[in-house]
């Protein structure tokens, strides 16, 4: 089974985040900059994950897929640990 999505999906998500940042700016909520940074990170993560998943599915190797799943789970766990050990307001 191959992923059934395109770069258009990522563009649509980016437009929504930028729209939310624009609304924040218009309403002077003060979170527009944070939304733009988070949106940029989201787009980069999704693009990298898209490239990785397409490569993994093209290989068709169960061993490589399982190793990639383990690596992603370890990195996700490390990210959660780092976020929970950060001081409040700095995550």
Position with higher pLDDT, 67 vs 26? 67
The parent domain of residue 28 ranges over 1-59
Provide the mean pLDDT of the chain: 81
Residue 60 has pLDDT above 90, yes or no: no
Rounded to whole angstroms, the Cα distance separating 3 from 57 reads 8
Shared domain check, 39 and 66: no
Residue 58 has pLDDT above 80, yes or no: yes
Using the structure block, give the residue that is written with the tokens 């980016």. Answer: 14
Shared domain check, 33 and 67: no
The count of structural domains within the chain is 2
Shared domain check, 44 and 8: yes
**21: buried, middle or exposed (CB in 10 Å: 19+, 13-18, 0-12)?**
buried
Residue 34 has pLDDT above 90, yes or no: no
Shared domain check, 33 and 44: yes
Instruction: Calculate the CA dihedral of residues 36, 39, 45, 49 and round it to 10 degrees.
Output: -150
Reported as a pLDDT band with limits 50, 70 and 90, residue 90 is low
Shared domain check, 80 and 53: no
Position with higher pLDDT, 4 vs 27? 27
Shared domain check, 88 and 65: yes
């Amino acid at each position: 089974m191959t992923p059934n999505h395109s770069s258009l999906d990522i563009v649509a998500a980016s437009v929504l985040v930028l729209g939310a940042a624009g609304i924040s700016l218009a309403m002077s909520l003060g979170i527009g900059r944070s939304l733009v940074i988070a949106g940029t990170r989201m787009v980069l993560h999704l693009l990298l994950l898209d490239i990785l998943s397409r490569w993994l599915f093209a290989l068709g190797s169960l061993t490589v897929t399982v190793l990639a799943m383990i690596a992603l789970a370890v990195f996700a766990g490390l990210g959660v640990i780092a976020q929970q050990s950060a001081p409040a307001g700095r995550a």
